Copies of this chain bind each other. A is one copy, B any other.
Amino acid sequence: MKVTIRDVARRAGVGVATVSRVLNGSGYVKAETRERVLAAAAELGYVPSQLARGLVGGLSGTVGLVIPDITNPFFPLITRGVEDAASEAGYTVFLCNTDNDPGLEAHDVQKLRERRVDGVIFVGTTERRESVDRLLADGIPVVVMDRQLNHADVDTVLVDNLAGARAACRHLIGLGHRRIAHAAGHRSTRTGQDRCQGYREALEEAGIAFDPACVAWGDFTYESGYRVCQVLLGLTPRPTAIFAGNDLIALGAIRAAEDAGLAVPDDLSVVGFDDIQMAALVRPGLTTVRQPAREMGRMAMTMLLQRIRGEAAGPGRRHVYQPELIVRGTTRRREPHA
């Protein structure tokens, strides 16, 4: 039932080495022989075993992609970008969801090591180094996305969160807002911290005093945005604008504002971050800071391939994308009251 290289060899009347040569384009093979082998392989419907190939010491042709949750709208685009580049290179990708649970992450990484993946891309997951170190010790290259892991040996792909946050807040300030709150992401993430920092810098350069009460930490979810916005709206004086740590938070914040009887953008302007698909589809459209997610995923896979192929050596490289402010309907000029 399973046809092996031996069957093809027999059928073509040659040795297995010759079959291997024509299939891999390695070594010299007479044109005629090549034809014969190809024909035999086709007739038999031969499919070489990557397991065997990988075992010989070559590559497995697979990579692992470790993310928190594919259900979070931020990850599908990145995943697609990774997959695009992988597929083009003849690679196949293992998808792993960790839910940001260290235990699950360890389990996934263990499986990936058993599968002898040629490389791994971590996105938006843990800042812990264990998993990465283990992989590196195995000689498996790693690329990290949407997280900063100051590790000497890993390549990093990310967006300039500081600049993005600044752009978002400057936009708000330019619209006349002075009382701007920040519905922040998760306090322990570098991403959350950077966006908060950008927010503070924008306020500072505009000469607006920073009010600690105006930043509320939570996590990067819709629910968190809803919750956190409720407290922010209870401030006195009430903020006229909110810069959210990401789009999900922004969406939750908008809902909270509406439930509190406030209109967006009339009573409250809101800016998000990421530009997930939903941002363009909700009404009013969400003003946000776009990350070129698919492109970033593709870049991560490209960098990983370079490491795998030994085309890139040395210390970890870092590719930083400049985000772009997308102005839609959730922000508007603040009407100076009386």
Query: Interface residues, chain A, CB within 8 Å of chain B?
Result: 1-2, 45, 47-52, 54-55, 60-62, 65, 69-71, 73, 75-77, 79-80, 83-84, 87, 90, 92-97, 104, 107-108, 110-116, 134, 137-139, 222, 251, 255, 258, 277-278, 281-283, 294
Contacts and interface: CB of A to CB of B under 8 A. Distances in A.
A111 B138 CA distance: 25
Contacts of A283: 255, 258, 282-283
A93 B92 contact: no
A76 B255 CA distance: 24
A90 B111 contact: yes
A95 B115 contact: no
Contacts of A282: 281-283
Contacts of A139: 1-2
B94 A80 contact: no
14 contacts: A1-B138, A47-B113, A51-B60, A51-B115, A55-B55, A61-B114, A65-B95, A70-B80, A70-B83, A83-B95, A87-B104, A255-B283, A277-B278, A282-B283
B49 A114 contact: yes
B60 A71 contact: no
Nearest to A53: B114
A134 to B, nearest CB: 8
B61 A80 contact: no
B92 A111 contact: yes
- Which of A61, A114, A277 has its CB near the most chain B CB atoms (within 10 A)? A114
Contacts of A48: 114
Given A108-B87, A282-B283, A70 B76 contact: yes
A84 B137 CA distance: 28
Contacts of A278: 277-278, 281
Contacts of A62: 94, 115
A224 to B, nearest CB: 14
A222 B51 contact: no
Nearest to A137: B45
A47 B138 contact: yes
Contacts of A65: 95
B60 A69 contact: no
A79 B73 contact: no
A188 B86 CA distance: 30
A125 to B, nearest CB: 15
B251 A116 contact: no
